[in-house]
Structure 1
Amino acid sequence: MKKMYSTNMGEAYCGDSLELLRSFEEESINLIITSPPFALLRKKDYGNKDENEYVSWLSEFGKIAYSKLKKDGSLVIDLGGAYLKGQPVRSLYNYRVLLEFCDNLGYNLAQEFFWYNPSKLPSPIAWVNKGKIRVKDSVNTVWWFSKSERPKSDIRKVLVPYSDRMKKLLENSDKYYTPKERPSGHHISNNFSNNNGGAIPSNLLKIANTESNSKYLKYFKKIGDELGIKSHPARFPKKLPEFFIKLLTEENDLVVDIFSGSNTTGEVAEELGRKWISCDLVEEYVASSVFRFSENELHAKSNFLKIISGELIEIK
């Protein structure tokens, strides 16, 4: 395990995430949020396990993570879907992960989320583009696991803008709204017309993964070819970790990403005033993730070259 660089709030490591997890004190982490390599049929550059061994592989991390989370801590895992090899039939690996973590590792399923990425390309090609017998897969399952039944969380931190109809109701509630019991049995009181600063979000997170003008990609476009490196191919958008970090943590809490890739989680945690620690197995990905914390193109290039050469960088 090697520390590659540090910032005011965090530290980025390269190596085995199991080793990193074991190094934490018991009940010291507020939130672990990560997107592990999915159980896909086709091998990826960033590494992924076969479906048959995936659940037991990921469970190794889940077991250690459980003891390292604080009593009110959470583990959030983003998992994409997959098909069985050679068949237009869905794999159940992500649901087997859910059952394994809850039935055998002791986690609670605090809530299931679904990340809807409207910009996702049609796939798999065999069944969608060529065979035209399946629709494109645009949703990832996101499991919010908790150690206790009541983990730290506050939906007031993730309120969304009111709809136009709700704004009209708030402006003149007497005209658009009458408190009464609805056919469903719900009794809607006068409090329904209170302005709470925003609406409660749903567990369907509509977040397009269309990053194009971020600092990370901006520097890659300018110096990636020169350095002979490529950006991480499976980055998740900043709004995804941002939602859960806001919901489940407070300032100066510790956020950990054990499959950090391009370190989107670290960047978001830094911006929100949370302490963070990230880890990835691929040195090039960790080194180039320093772009997210570099002031300009020259700074990014210099930091990357120093890290690759074995120098520990401190960014203040």
Structure 2
Amino acid sequence: MKKGNRRPAPGQQDLFAAVRAAYQGATQMDNDQLYDKLASNGVIELGSLDERTPIGRTAQRHNTMKRRVRWIQQTLKAMGAIERVPGQRGTWQLKSGEEQLTAAAPGRVLVAFSTNLGLALWADCSALGSLNEPTSLVLSSPPYPLARPRAYGNPTQDQFSEFICRSLEPVLRSLVPGGSVCLNVSNDIFRAGTPARSTYLERLTLDIERRLGLFLMDRLIWVNPSKPPGPTMWACRERVQLVHSYEPVLWFSSDPARCLADNNRVLKPHTARHQQLQAKGGEQRDAEYGDGAHRLRPGSFSGATEGSIPRNVLQFPHEAGKPAAEFRAAVQASGLPAHGALMPRALARFLIEFLTPPGALVADLFGGWLTTGIEAEETGRRWVVTERFAQYIAASAWRFKDAPGFHSSFDFVS
């Protein structure tokens, strides 16, 4: 291949996926076999493996492509995905039990990837206590207190309130006056062995007010039309409950009098019926309803407005469509596990736009798929997200690969 027609070097995220996939397709490989496989798969050029570049103050010449591959090799080792073959120098294999998640070491904060607007940190959420930047919104979907924990684990109903308060305390030090905290939680948590719902949400609300000094602004309702039928036992088998369709979003503020929320940022288009009402000059009636609680006067609703104020019942399906499918396929191809819970992007976008002005800083304690981060990125907000498990934060980097300034260093598992 002529020099002028050489393929560009693969990005770090693309190379990571390729190295990971190479090990999935082989039992054992030494480094030379790995380089040859990457070249034969068209990921890197064979000639690039012979090039040497002066590096560092001593200007010693090294092959940068091989160094990148070996760095990813160490990343996969730290993530628990591969291991050295005993007794064979430089030979690696997939590690048995590789589906296990790799948690961040206590007290360690390392950058997984970044963009011009945000940082994704491989760390426990307590790391946000060191933030020196004023934070306008904390938006998180914490692990629900499920009876059967998912791979990432969760607190029990009795532990949940303490867990959330302890997780929020560090980041609240940087929350601005009028800043908000939004928690997407589950309504479908039941008392053990019964169809009676748990009151853990009520306990949580009271503890957040008493312990953290936050004020409850609303219990927003997220209606999910694509939610699968359930609860299986109590609605579908025993028939003593109705099929669930919503989850609450608890919205708190540090100072209601100075709340940064502005519904002008999330106005909806007027309905055709309302537009017709405006066109004919508004209401023609003069009437009272509810003992004077509501009154219509001639000319009401005649003024032109930019849109309709949304109600506090929000309807968004789970993320679907081509972008979501491509993302899932990319994660699957990389060999990384997909997080078991997904907040819809439309819900995160609505809350971010409603509760923060452009340029504000948004934080998320439990990154998961980094939905909060990607919606903050796309709406012009700065963001910082922590995720405890290396595999999840590595997989979520796919969502940001086209963001300005994207850099996935993978030095977070050195």
Alignment TM-score > 0.5, same fold: yes
Aligned to 2:159: 53
SS in 2 for 1:104: helix
Q: Does the Cα contact within 8 Å between 2:289 and 2:295 map onto a contact in 1?
A: no
Q: 2:303 aligns with which of 164, 184, 194?
A: 194
Match for residue 117 of structure 1 among 211, 220, 224? 224
C-alpha separation in 2, matches of 1:219 and 1:110: 34
Matches within 5 A, 1:37-48: 37-48=143-154
The partner residue of 2:397 within 286, 290, 299 is 290
Partners of 1:220 and 1:85 in 2: how far apart? 34
Greater RCO structure (CA 8 Å; 6+ sep)? 1
Identity of aligned residues (%): 29
CA RMSD, Structure 1 to Structure 2 (Å): 2.2
Equivalent in the alignment of 2:140: 34
Gaps of 5+ in 2: 1-108
- Give the TM-score normalised by structure 2: 0.68
Counterpart of 1:206 in structure 2 is 315
1:218 corresponds, among 289, 306, 326, to 326
Structure 2 Cα separation of the partners of residues 309 and 90 of structure 1 = 41
Contact 2:319 2:345 in 1 (8 A): no
2:267 maps to 1:154? no
1:268–1:309 Cα change, 3 Å: closer
Deviation at 1:127, TM superposition (A): 1.1
TM-fit CA distance, 1:194: 1.8
Question: In structure 1, what is the Cα distance between the partners aligned to 2:308 and 2:158?
Answer: 41
CA offset digits 1:172-192 (Å, max 9, x no partner): 235xx2253422322345352
Residue 245 of structure 2 is aligned to residue 126 of structure 1: no
Letter in 2 for 1:248: L
Residue 9 (1) aligns with residue 117 (2)? yes
Look at both structures and tell me which one has the larger radius of gyration over its CA atoms.
Answer: 2
Correspondence for 2:245: 138
Asked if 1:307 corresponds to 2:410, the answer is yes
Task: Say if 1:287 and 1:308, in contact at 8 Å, map to a contact too.
Answer: no
Deviation at 1:275? 0.4
Secondary structure at the aligned position of 2:203 is classed as helix
Please report how far the alpha carbon of residue 239 of structure 1 lies from its aligned counterpart in structure 2 after TM superposition: 1.0
Q: Deviations over 1:253-276 (max 9, x none)?
A: 100011111111111111111100
Inter-partner Cα distance in structure 2 for 1:53 and 1:310:
30
- Give CA deviations for 1:254-304 in whole Å, capped at 9, x if unaligned: 0001111111111111111110001111111111111111249xxx9xx87
**In structure 2, what is the Cα distance between the partners aligned to 1:219 and 1:71?**
37
d(CA) in 2 for partners of 1:308 and 1:291? Answer: 17
Question: What whole-Å deviation, never above 9, does each CA across 1:31-56 have from its counterpart, x for those lacking one?
Answer: 11110001111111122111111111
The yes-or-no answer on 1:64 pairing with 2:170 is yes
- Aligned residue pairs total 299
Conservation of the 8 A alpha-carbon contact between 1:262 and 1:286: yes
Report the Cα offset of residue 69 of structure 1.
Answer: 0.5
Give the Å deviation of 1:225: 3.8
Deviations 1:149-193 (A, max 9, x none): 22111111111122232121122235xx22534223223453522
1:169-184 equivalence runs, <5 A: 169-173=277-281, 177-178=283-284, 180-184=286-290
Preserved CA contact (<8 Å) 2:113 2:120:
yes
**Comparing 46-55 and 224-233, the one that deviates more:** 224-233
